[in-house]
Structure 1
Amino acid sequence: MVESSFDDKTECLTILVDGRFDYSCHKLFKEAFVSAKKAASVYEIDLSRVTYLDSSALGMLLLLRDHAGGEKADVRLKKPNGAVLDILKIANFHRLFDIEE
């Protein structure tokens, strides 16, 4: 499941992923940031409820980063559990994203 919300005051788009973050989420995840009402200046991906993350999820995070402006993008990965955090670090995503534990 993927849910999103936009805060007009902070221009922050928050995307919550619940359960497995894999290819089955691709369409919903992409729609969450492509179809946002306004362009966000900050993107927060809430990973607190993610139980599984695979390579397609890593690819989706990279697509979001490109959409948000690449190296200049402010994309934050929030509250990953230990297993998800390990995968993100193995993939060197801590060098591409702010990860807030």
Structure 2
Amino acid sequence: MAITANSSADGQELTIHVEGRFDFGAHQEFRDAYERIDSSPRRYVVDLKNTTYLDSSALGMLLLLRDHAGGDHAQVRLANCNGDVRKILAISNFEQLFQIA
């Protein structure tokens, strides 16, 4: 599992890439990806292209990111979801809280 983060050139968007299993073992690394940056992004993208597994801990981490980003006013997009990940997000009704692509 590896988590990396990249800011856009203007600092307005932060993209967090999650590779492998997204579970409790990723908790601190995921939080560090958005809490330990110098800019204050307006938009967040969580790229799940290379995510092979997602559990309830990961869902909780996504909710923490949403709260950090502004709660109901947050702009958080979950991108490049494979079929299994998309199914878990749908069962959890996350399409009502996040943009899912």
Task: Judge same fold: TM > 0.5, yes or no.
Answer: yes
TM-score by length of 1: 0.97
What's the CA shift for 1:42? 0.4
Letter in 2 for 1:86: K
Task: Give the 3-state SS of the residue equivalent to 2:6 in structure 1.
Answer: strand
Amino acid at match of 1:48: K
Q: Deviation per CA, 1:43-62, whole angstroms, max 9, x where unpaired?
A: 00000000000000000000
Counterpart-to-counterpart distance in 2, 1:80 and 1:66 = 21
Q: Which residue of 2 aligns with 1:27?
A: 28
1:9 is displaced (CA, Å) by: 2.1
After TM superposition, what 4+ stretches of structure 1 lie above 3 angstroms from structure 2?
none
What TM-score, normalized to structure 2? Answer: 0.97
Identity %: 49
Matched to 2:31, the amino acid is: K
CA RMSD, Structure 1 to Structure 2 (Å): 0.8
